[in-house]
Amino acid sequence: MENKQYLINADIIRIMAIFGAIGIHIVFPFYGRWDYIGGKIWWISDIWNAFARTSIPLFIILSGYFILNNQDSITRTWQRVIGRILIPLVFWSGLYLLWDGLYLKHGLNWQDFFLCIFRGGLFHYYFLGIIASLYILSPILRFILNQAPIKLNNYLIVISLAGSLLLNFYLYLTYKVFDGNIFLYWIMFVGYFLAGGLYRRSNLKVNPKSLSLVFIIYWIFTSLAGWINLNLIQYKTPILFPAGSISPYFDHYVSPNIMIMSFCLFIFIMQANLGKIVNNRKLISLVKLLASASFGMYLIHPFIMDFMYMKFFIVVESLPLLLILKIVTTYLFSFIITIILLKIPKLNAVLGIKN
């Protein structure tokens, strides 16, 4: 029973992480428009964006939770990296380059393909570069956690997280937030990975009410920070939001507010008593199905968003209707296509499935 309950908790985190990451891309066209600010749709997008910013940290913490506590050899580690990460990264980055050049009419340049791979992939695929790097480093990190005393492990995690916060703040402060490549992205996320690995070995228990309160406080703070930044854009004085950057500092996955929210949410879910779900076979089946499809949905969803917008949504003038249509079609069609691909031998390798 304990093992089943543990698995369901982890799957719920996995679903929340991937669905949250997709959700960020759905609401960004609404949230990122200062001329929409103050409207109901903008506030819905802002509040959701603030919550969903925990998605990538949650996935990395969960990866550390599992990877740093298994007994994989170096050979097995590389098999995992190639099969689960590198094949999907190369395939979907290349496919999106073709899609962007031929369907979206942005031009096709194969030099950009290799450039985008070394920079972590196109669009959201940079995340795969982070995971691949952390997987490759996992035998070394696992050895350190196994051999070092608990106090030294705690110290390592503290300085990793603190160093990540300082580095990210420096990049925003000096307008170098755009710099980076696939070989260095992992540096700012290794603290999350280590923390996940150590959490599984610990007996840490935190009051759920305290976790909820802290999470809500920083959720509100992040939402208000988004509102303040977009207001200041009108006066060309945004806070830590260099022109051309994808997101403001307080939306970044390694900002202090997002870091606190991510750890609170992870611990809260892992500590939650999900007995009612565990004892309901239909709910377990649904959670497992969504968890198994989540990674594929993450890979496929930008194609769905582009296609639906270009073919149908470009003429939709109602913001509420447009948001609802984007949510329904992106999640639904990404899920359906993923389920189909998962059932096709060999082809499902592009979703990280080992045949």
**CA 72/CA 56 separation, integer angstroms:** 24
Q: What is the pLDDT of residue 232?
A: 82
Q: What is the pLDDT of residues 303-324, one digit of tens each?
A: 999 999 888 877 788 889 999 9
Going by C-alpha positions, the residue among 334, 346, 278, 336 that lies closest to residue 18 is 334
**CA 253/CA 168 separation, integer angstroms:** 9
Contact assessment for residue 127 and residue 89, using Cβ atoms and an 8 Å cutoff: no
Going by C-alpha positions, the residue among 216, 85, 124 that lies closest to residue 77 is 85
Q: What is the pLDDT of residue 116?
A: 64
DSSP symbols for 100-142: IIIIS-S---HHHHHHHHHTT-SGGGHHHHHHHHHHHHHHHHH
Contact assessment for residue 301 and residue 22, using Cβ atoms and an 8 Å cutoff: yes
For range 108-123, the mean pLDDT: 65
Contacts with 74 (C-beta within 8 Å, 6 or more apart), sequence order: 139
Q: Is 244 left (phi over 0), alpha (psi -120 to 50) or beta?
A: left
User: What stretch of H or E contains 24?
Assistant: helix 2-31
- The alpha carbon torsion through 159, 247, 116, 113 (nearest 10 deg) reads 160
First to last CA, the chain: 30
| 183 compared with 65, residue with greater pLDDT | 65
Residue-number span of the structural domain to which 263 is assigned: 2-351
| 219 compared with 176, residue with greater pLDDT | 219
Contact assessment for residue 16 and residue 55, using Cβ atoms and an 8 Å cutoff: yes
Q: What is the pLDDT of residues 56-96, one digit of tens each?
A: 999 999 999 999 999 889 999 999 999 999 999 889 988 88
Q: What is the pLDDT of residue 161?
A: 98
For range 9-29, the mean pLDDT: 95
**pLDDT value at 20 more than 70:** yes
| 238 compared with 248, residue with greater pLDDT | 248
- C-alpha distance from residue 226 to each of 23, 62, 169, 175 (Å): 16, 27, 17, 19
**CA 20/CA 42 separation, integer angstroms:** 17
For range 257-279, the mean pLDDT: 90
Quote the pTM value. 0.92
**CA 204/CA 198 separation, integer angstroms:** 10
Q: What is the total count of domains within the chain?
A: 1
**pLDDT value at 119 more than 80:** no
Q: What is the pLDDT of residues 217-227, one digit of tens each?
A: 999 999 999 89
Q: What is the pLDDT of residues 190-210, one digit of tens each?
A: 999 999 999 999 989 999 999
Q: What is the pLDDT of residues 269-291, one digit of tens each?
A: 999 988 677 778 888 899 999 99
Contact assessment for residue 246 and residue 77, using Cβ atoms and an 8 Å cutoff: no
Going by C-alpha positions, the residue among 9, 18, 57 that lies closest to residue 261 is 57
